[in-house]
Amino acid sequence: MIGLISATAAGAAARDRLAAAWPDRTRVYDGPVRDAVRRAFGECEQLVCFLATGAVVRLVAPLLGGKASDPGVVCVDEGGRFAVSLVGGHAGGANELAREVGEVLGAEPVVTTATDAVGVPGLDTLGLPVEGDVAGVTRALLDGEPVALEAEVPWPLPALPVTDGRDEAEEGASGDEGDYVIRLTDRAVEPAEREVVLRPPSLVVGVGASKGAPVDEVLGLVEGALRDAGLSVRSVAEVATVDAKAGEPGIVGAAERLGVPVVTYTAEELAEVTVPNPSDAPLAAVGTPSVAEAAALVRGGELLVPKRKSERADGRPAMATCAVVRRPARGRLAVVGLGPGARDLLTPRARAELRRAAVLVGLDQYVDQIRDLLRPGTRVLQSGLGAEEERARTAVAEARRGQAVALIGSGDAGVYAMASPALAEASDDIDVVGVPGVTAALAAGAILGAPLGHDHVSISLSDLHTPWEVIERRVRAAAEADLVVTFYNPRSRGRDWQLPKALAILAGHREPTTPVGVVRNASRADESSRLTDLESLDLATVDMMTVVTVGNTATREIAGRMVTPRGYRWQERDR
């Protein structure tokens, strides 16, 4: 919950705007400001104070306990101009909250945390448990000192300005003088000096239990299995079992104490998993020869701890079994649409994915557009025109290596761009995220007026990948259906006959005066546009950087703008 505190009418107005935007996330604290801040500080995860910064500093100073436990505090001036991340920038989430508040109120977020200021992700903001010398290693990253990343377990981290790790001769020498290390591991190792240990959620614990198995017996079994195998309990991602045991108190309670969810599978699913230690007992009880091992292995991985039984001090039979599996990391592929070119048409989600990526794959000219948005350490794999399939294969291959990858395309990556070839290469062994972008057709439409106000279609006139016979059939269908048509890739030096042919097909179903909009480099610095008609279109003004939008029988030019009415009543009135 986010506590909101204000002292004046101006502050209360901004406070109420935020409360209205986030009714389920916020709580307004009234009364004397000092008491309101104290109550909110003790009850909320975050605070937004609509007060002077100095006043907030004096109010919260006596309440501060430690960066790991203090709520995040954001201070907004009464004019609503700035949202200042004051306390708990990383651990308390104040940096991100300042940005969110800024979006709602139109305020400028002010974030002074060193890592955020230079674009280096904070080691305590990666969503992974972190141990060790966070401050020292972070300072080394900021100062440009060598920091080795030793990933014992592949994981899709964002870009970090690190080296690839030490030579084999130095392997195991963590903490040697002069070395700074970020170690990504699920092993139960203590951080050395100058080392940070990140714990990926790579371990799955499969658990079977008899009815009424005590929580302490289940939890003790799991913790003992991890300890004996040299594995960290902080890397446990989930407890897995058969669905018949979904509500078993011992399993549920153990998972709660571990802070992880219980994931269940049907007996039929588990029975199909090959395990080293099947048994007749679970087969008779729940319908599968294995619960612990099968539940841990059902989604693949390396069996680190085979089935083991709990031990009871009273000598009675064990009531629980467990097994531990290390699942392979799932890489992440974000297919990102950059929009038509203007920076303000790049969506916030696209920006976030660019900054999350450790590997960027894209056409060289598109990479140049957004290179300044990448974090330090981002590996860039770029190529030229005509290498689309190669880029798609490269992006998928990097994701399969456990990397966080962004594959970029102009406009919307799913429209005549990289999403299609990438998803044709990808299988279900990686996570794929689609990030929509503003298409060239939409950008051109906004410049022309409202040509896409009714049913419309986009058709590429490039016959490099599609036979002309197919393209011609589609153009003819659009002409007969009276659809507004936007032509992509309309004309190049080597392909100058397709556009006249397509326009001739449309002209067989539309008047010569049908409006046609021509937009080149929509939204970019050298943008140009003109409104003409089917009869007067100058083909010399069209090239591969142009989109051509041809209206339907209802499209009109109104006050110099191209407009297709939502309905056809205008057409009826004109008759």
Q: In what order do the strands lie in the sheet with 556-558?
A: 449-450, 561-563, 556-558
What's the Cα-to-Cα distance from 164 to each of 148, 182, 515, rounded to whole Å? 6, 10, 58
Residue whose token pair is 């890397």: 235
Q: How far apart are CA 136 and CA 270, in angstroms?
A: 46
Q: How far apart are CA 515 and CA 557, in angstroms?
A: 7
Nearest C-alpha neighbor of 556 from the set 448, 476, 456 = 448
Please give the structure tokens belonging to residue 121. Answer: 């992700």
Residues 111 and 117: beta-carbon distance below 8 Å: yes
Please give the structure tokens belonging to residue 559. Answer: 């006050």
Q: How far apart are CA 495 and CA 473, in angstroms?
A: 18
What's the Cα-to-Cα distance from 305 to each of 161, 173, 199, 231, 325, rounded to whole Å? 35, 27, 19, 10, 7
Distance between first and last Cα of the chain: 61
Reduced to 3 states, what is the DSSP secondary structure of residue 456?
strand
Cα-based angle 498, 500, 502 (whole degrees, multiple of 5): 65
Nearest C-alpha neighbor of 303 from the set 293, 289, 288, 295 = 293
Q: What is the DSSP string of 118-156?
A: HTPPPGGGSSS-EEE-HHHHHHHHHHT---EEEESS---
Q: How far apart are CA 478 and CA 457, in angstroms?
A: 7
Residues 361 and 407: beta-carbon distance below 8 Å: yes
Pairing between β-strand 262-265 and β-strand 302-309 as defined by DSSP bridges: unpaired
What's the Cα-to-Cα distance from 3 to each of 37, 38, 58, 249, rounded to whole Å? 8, 10, 18, 35
Reduced to 3 states, what is the DSSP secondary structure of residue 305?
strand
Residues 122 and 114: beta-carbon distance below 8 Å: no
**pTM (2 decimals)?**
0.76
Please give the helix or strand (H or E) that residue 115 lies within, else none. Answer: helix 114-118
Nearest C-alpha neighbor of 236 from the set 250, 219, 248, 211 = 219
Reduced to 3 states, what is the DSSP secondary structure of residue 163?
strand
> What is the mean pLDDT of each successive set of 10 residues along the chain, which is 575 residues long?
89 89 91 90 91 89 85 88 87 86 88 68 82 88 86 88 55 53 94 92 95 93 96 96 93 95 95 92 86 94 94 82 92 95 92 93 94 90 89 95 94 92 90 95 96 96 91 97 96 90 96 96 92 94 94 95 80 53
Q: How far apart are CA 395 and CA 430, in angstroms?
A: 11
Residues 223 and 163: beta-carbon distance below 8 Å: no
Q: How far apart are CA 101 and CA 320, in angstroms?
A: 49
The amino acid that residue 31 corresponds to is: G
Nearest C-alpha neighbor of 460 from the set 497, 491, 506 = 491
Nearest C-alpha neighbor of 492 from the set 426, 425, 540, 554 = 540
Q: How far apart are CA 401 and CA 404, in angstroms?
A: 9
The amino acid that residue 428 corresponds to is: D
